[in-house]
């Protein structure tokens, strides 16, 4: 498989396609080289808007028409991003279809109302069609597994065959079979998006798909020249049951990348008040991070702030900033930067939407610039304890994180001048070739050599 180079991904979570297009030049100027968009397919839309999770309840793969835009606006967005050198990745939902049990009892997708709408507005839907015959449904009852809700989330068979539900009174999301027909439709969808200019895929809820399903859909034809990564949520690394049940087999039996949930848990624990930054020196060797060539790294995903069950994993503002310094400063992985339009309602210390503008703020763009400059250079620890970590990137970069509340100082042997990309400060060594560096409490530095 050929994958795209390691570059920073902007997760433009629930951004309309026209908004992304309008911001394309700014996205490129900030140093992003890829944008991950919410699922481009048909899902329920309403003149007054719909919640973010509606995008994760597919009604039809053959049509792009949802609250964020349609095929025409998506194509225009892709073209604009291509002009400025930014790739587009698409989130895809293949485990299930929309929960429409309160409206009907059948398992026909799209439903009869939507099929009728296709005929009434044939010219419009022809423009939004990716593939297939819209006079017929995409899926019927024969394409789904028997209905039951998942009860034991560490029972692999239940997780991969049961329905994701909102509780005992919810019939849940109908789970698709991994039948030849379903596989054929899903591959046709991916290839159509690829022809449209999509260059990567995020596999939503990948732990709910069997490995047989994943390997058949993401065939050589689909994955060639694409960056593909699965979302397999685990509560830690190699010693955890969820890792062994879901993530380890996926990594062993496919060539695809994955969200680095083991590293996230390591990072989350390290950033806690009683956490130890020494655990971040080489987490991979302890099974607490994925290999650097297959990892998509993050300090937050869209599920964490937007689902109550995960909200305890939201870091404090200051600690999340330190986490991003580590992820964008370290060697390895494709960093993903999360941004939304305040879907969660969580605010920062200034009372502003937490992740709405962070993607373009000077501190974040400085971290992205450091990552882009240092890509591929080796990482070497120069000082570490429970609350302080400093490491170099070859002979060109230096990263320092101070988790404590007090200022920390350290010395570094060098004959060169340095620039902190976060503060804009310049530093020069003393005549004896030592650089004295101070790092304020709760902050970080990312220095590069000034040529």
CB 6 within 8 A of CB 229: no
* Catalytic, out of 14, 143, 231, 340: 231
β-strands 9-12, 334-339: how paired?
Answer: parallel
User: In the block, which residue shows the tokens 């695809």?
Assistant: 256
DSSP-assigned letter for residue 23: T
What is the Cβ-side half-sphere exposure of residue 117, based on CA atoms within 13 angstroms? 12
Distance, CA of 93 to CA of 173 (rounded, Å): 11
Report the number of secondary-structure helices (H) and strands (E) in the chain. Answer: 15, 18
Are the C-beta atoms of residues 325 and 444 closer than 8 Å to each other? yes
Q: Report the alpha-carbon angle 22-27-31, nearest 5.
A: 165
Q: Which two tokens stand for residue 407?
A: 């200022």
Tell me whether residue 350 is one of the annotated catalytic residues: no
231 in active site: yes
Strands 34-37 and 9-12: parallel
CB atoms within 10 A of CB 320: 21
Half-sphere exposure of 36 (CA within 13 A, CB side): 27
Nearest to 90 by CA among 79, 98, 78, 80: 78
The partner residues of 437 in beta bridges, in order of sequence, read: 410
- What are the percentages of helix, strand and coil residues in the chain, rounded to 5? 35, 20, 45
Query: CA 240, 319, 375 angle in degrees (round to 5)?
Result: 80
- Contact (CB, 8 A) for 237 and 282: no
DSSP labels for 275-298?
Answer: --GGGGSSGGGGTSS--TTTEEE-
Provide the b/e sequence for 56-77 (b: ≥16 CB within 10 Å): bbbbbbbbbbbbbbbbebbbeb
Burial degree of 151 (CB within 10 A; 0-12, 13-18, 19+): exposed
Q: Which residues pair with 419 in a beta bridge?
A: 426, 448
Active-site entry in 14, 204, 242, 331: 204
What are φ and ψ of residue 438, in 5° steps? -110, 145
Q: Give the residues across from 37 on adjacent strands.
A: 90
Q: What is the DSSP letter of 405?
A: S
Which active-site residues does the annotation give?
204, 231
């Amino acid at each position: 498989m050929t994958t795209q180079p390691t570059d920073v991904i902007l997760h433009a979570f629930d951004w309309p396609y026209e908004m992304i297009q309008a911001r394309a030049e700014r996205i490129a100027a900030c140093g992003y080289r890829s944008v991950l968009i919410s699922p481009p397919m048909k899902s329920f839309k309403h003149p007054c808007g719909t919640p973010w999770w509606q995008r994760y309840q597919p009604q039809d793969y053959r049509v792009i028409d949802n609250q964020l835009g349609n095929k025409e606006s998506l194509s225009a967005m892709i073209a604009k991003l291509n002009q400025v050198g930014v790739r587009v990745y698409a989130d895809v939902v293949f485990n299930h279809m929309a929960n429409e049990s309160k409206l009907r009892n059948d398992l026909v997708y799209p439903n009869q109302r939507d099929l009728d709408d296709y005929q009434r507005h044939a010219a419009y839907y022809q423009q939004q069609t990716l593939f297939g015959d819209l006079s017929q449904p995409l899926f019927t009852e024969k394409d789904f597994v028997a209905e039951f809700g998942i009860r034991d989330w560490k029972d692999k068979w239940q997780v991969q065959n049961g329905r994701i539900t909102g509780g005992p009174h919810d019939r849940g999301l109908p789970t698709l079979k991994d039948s030849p027909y379903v596989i054929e439709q899903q591959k046709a969808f991916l290839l159509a998006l690829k022809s449209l200019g999509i260059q990567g895929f995020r596999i939503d809820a990948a732990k709910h798909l069997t490995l047989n399903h994943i390997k058949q859909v993401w065939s050589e034809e689909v994955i060639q020249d694409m960056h593909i990564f699965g979302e397999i949520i685990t509560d830690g690394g190699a010693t955890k049951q969820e890792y062994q049940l879901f993530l380890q087999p996926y990594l062993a039996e496919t060539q695809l990348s994955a969200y680095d949930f083991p590293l996230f848990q390591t990072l989350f624990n390290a950033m806690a008040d009683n956490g130890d930054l020494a655990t971040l020196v080489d987490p991979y060797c302890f099974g607490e991070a994925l290999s650097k060539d297959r990892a998509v790294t993050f300090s937050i995903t869209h599920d964490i702030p937007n689902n109550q069950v995960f909200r305890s994993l939201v870091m404090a503002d200051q600690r999340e900033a330190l986490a991003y310094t580590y992820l964008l400063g370290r060697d390895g992985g494709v960093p993903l930067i999360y941004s939304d339009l305040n879907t969660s309602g969580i605010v920062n210390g200034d009372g502003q939407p937490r992740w709405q503008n962070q993607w373009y703020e000077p501190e974040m763009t400085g971290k992205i610039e450091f990552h882009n400059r240092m890509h591929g250079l080796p990482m070497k620890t120069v000082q570490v304890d429970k609350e302080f970590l400093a490491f170099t990137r070859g002979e060109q970069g230096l990263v320092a994180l101070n988790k404590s509340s007090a200022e920390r100082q350290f010395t570094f042997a060098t004959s060169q001048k340095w620039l902190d990309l976060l503060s804009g400060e310049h530093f020069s060594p003393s005549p004896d070739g030592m650089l004295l560096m101070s790092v304020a409490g709760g902050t970080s530095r990312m220095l590069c050599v000034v040529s």
